[in-house]
Amino acid sequence: MSHHIVQTRDLYFTYPDGTAGLAGVSFLITHGESVALVGANGAGKSTLLMHLNGCLLPTQGSVQVGDLPVTKKTTAAIRRSVGMVFQDSDDQLFMPTVFEDVAFGPMNLGLSDQEVEPVVTGALQRVDALHLKDRPPYKLSVGEKRRVAIAAVLAMSPDILVMDEPSSSLDPKTRRELIALLRTFEHTKIIATHDLDLAIQLCPRTIVLSEGKVLADGPTADIFADDNLLAQSRLEKPLSMQNCPRCSPNSSPN
């Protein structure tokens, strides 16, 4: 199944105010891969994600999803296969109830009432949030909102899941549950995150962005072992790869 590839070729993007967002990004992500996108604040992670489903169109270069290049004409088709989970769930949830919100996508795909019901129930069950279905989204906790936002995207049965900071502002337990949940998904996953431990657990491959360029692209374990690279891209070794200063007295605190 080669048609779920995501490929960018020499991608440039400049914001209308002149800020450079991306400055030549090229990579190829194949079907079923889980890729972490890491980098400092302002490195271009979110800008890049916005290109993957046509929310932003490149100033130069191209993005290809499956067989289609991302252009104004193809965005409708692209958005069917690329599901995007936003960083701030409040931006994503806008209908009066959770059920209606999750149904919003499938309804837009033209499903009938009878068809939508099981799809929504299934998606909510998948993220363990079926009990929330009649609640208004703005009254949920951050963790619940995140689950519902993911369900809303799953309900459209995308082939590729794109997530912007899925673990941000979650409590440790909720974060762990989210990681466990994401691990059960078989979609192609592209996850922009500062949570390098999450990256280790979910993504065998990591792309490091810095100032709008790809600084490194390779196996996650190798990249996180490279101290120079991490320092250069304003990152730190994930906690799980650091020697614990409390448990191992031999390690010298730096």
Partner 1 sequence: MTNLGCLDTLARQDSPIHRLDPRTKLLTTLVFIVMIVSFDKYQISAMLPFAVFPVVLIVLGNLPAGYLMKRVLWVAPFAMLVGIFNPLLDRQALLHIGTLEISGGWVSFASILIRFFLTVLAAFVLVATTGFNTICLSLEKIGVPNVFVMQLLFLYRYAFVLAEESSRMLRAWQLRAPLRKAMSMKTFSTVLGSLFLRTTGRAQRIYQAMCCRGFEGQLHPARRFHWRMADTVFLFGFCLLFAVFRFANPAVLLGKFVMGIFS
Interacting residue ranges for partner 1, rule: CB under 8 A: 50, 53, 55, 75-76, 79-80, 83-84, 86, 88, 91-92, 94-97, 99-100, 103-105, 107-109, 113, 134, 136, 138, 152-153, 156
Token pair in block for residue 11: 């991608």
Provide the minimum distance between the beta carbon of 213 and partner 1 in the complex, in angstroms, as a whole number: 24
Provide the minimum distance between the beta carbon of 89 and partner 1 in the complex, in angstroms, as a whole number: 10
Contact 21, 44 (CB under 8 A): yes
Provide the minimum distance between the beta carbon of 91 and partner 1 in the complex, in angstroms, as a whole number: 4
> Cβ closer to partner 1: 108 or 240?
108
Q: Is residue 43 classed exposed, middle or buried when 0-12, 13-18 and 19+ CB atoms within 10 A define those classes?
A: buried
CA distance 77 to 111: 16
Contact 101, 129 (CB under 8 A): no
> Cβ closer to partner 1: 21 or 201?
21
CA distance 162 to 232: 25
Provide the minimum distance between the beta carbon of 88 and partner 1 in the complex, in angstroms, as a whole number: 7
> Cβ closer to partner 1: 92 or 210?
92
> Helix (H, G, I), strand (E, B), or coil: what is residue 69?
strand
Provide the minimum distance between the beta carbon of 79 and partner 1 in the complex, in angstroms, as a whole number: 6
List, in sequence order, every residue forming a beta bridge with 29; answer none if it has no partner.
6
> Cβ closer to partner 1: 95 or 181?
95
CA distance 53 to 242: 36
> Cβ closer to partner 1: 107 or 178?
107
> Cβ closer to partner 1: 139 or 183?
139
Q: Specify the DSSP class assigned to residue 224.
A: H
First-to-final CA distance of the chain: 48
Provide the minimum distance between the beta carbon of 99 and partner 1 in the complex, in angstroms, as a whole number: 7
